[in-house]
């Protein structure tokens, strides 16, 4: 009798699981790779989260679905803003990203930049920083950091590239 109950519970358990598996169709996903080059060029493992999020928004923006789209225009300029920064992006009529000018304040500096600054200016503290990026689809991306340093009542401003080289 006990074995019959155990077998019955076992069969009941298998039956319940089979009802839990429903076949459901998911909506179709469209992947646009129009501006993947931009993300590859400006993307960095050390990029601050707000910078990375805005880069993704710029890369995935669809000009054809925007209010500014008009048949016959050859290019479009679109501004993206967040409290920490902004990007002015230019797109062609097909939605391909042509160039950007980017400015972010108070972002996390790359390790190479931090090491370079503290190596050259020991005892100084960073009071402000601005991250500037210029992207053009046919040219190399330029990244620059403008950093304000303080030491007591002394104040200096320095510029570096993303590798920590002083400009």
Q: Domain ranges in the chain? A: 33-161
Give residue 52's pLDDT.
87
Q: Which residue has the tokens 């960095």?
A: 44
> Cβ neighbours of residue 92 under 8 Å, at least 6 residues apart?
74, 75, 76, 98
Confidence category of residue 151, pLDDT binned at 50, 70, 90: very high
Query: Kindly report the CA angle at 115 between 112 and 118, in degrees rounded to 5?
Result: 145
pLDDT digits 0-9 by tens, 80-108: 999 989 999 999 888 889 999 999 998 88
Query: Kindly report the CA angle at 114 between 123 and 112, in degrees rounded to 5?
Result: 145
Which pTM does this prediction carry?
0.73
């Amino acid at each position: 009798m006990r074995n019959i109950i155990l077998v019955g519970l076992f069969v009941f358990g298998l039956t319940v699981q089979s009802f839990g598996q429903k076949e459901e169709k998911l909506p179709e996903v469209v992947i646009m790779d129009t501006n993947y080059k931009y993300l590859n060029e400006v993307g960095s493992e050390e990029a601050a989260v707000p910078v990375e999020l805005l880069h993704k928004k710029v890369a995935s923006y669809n000009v054809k679905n925007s209010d500014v789209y008009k048949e016959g225009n050859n290019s479009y300029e679109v501004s993206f803003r967040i409290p920490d920064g902004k990007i002015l992006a230019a797109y062609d009529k097909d939605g391909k990203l042509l160039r950007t000018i980017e400015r972010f304040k108070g972002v996390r500096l790359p390790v190479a930049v931090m090491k370079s600054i503290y190596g050259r200016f020991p005892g100084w503290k960073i009071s402000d920083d601005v991250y500037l990026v210029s992207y053009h689809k046919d040219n190399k991306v330029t990244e620059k950091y403008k950093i304000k340093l303080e030491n007591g009542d002394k104040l200096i401003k320095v510029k570096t590239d993303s590798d920590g080289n002083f400009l």
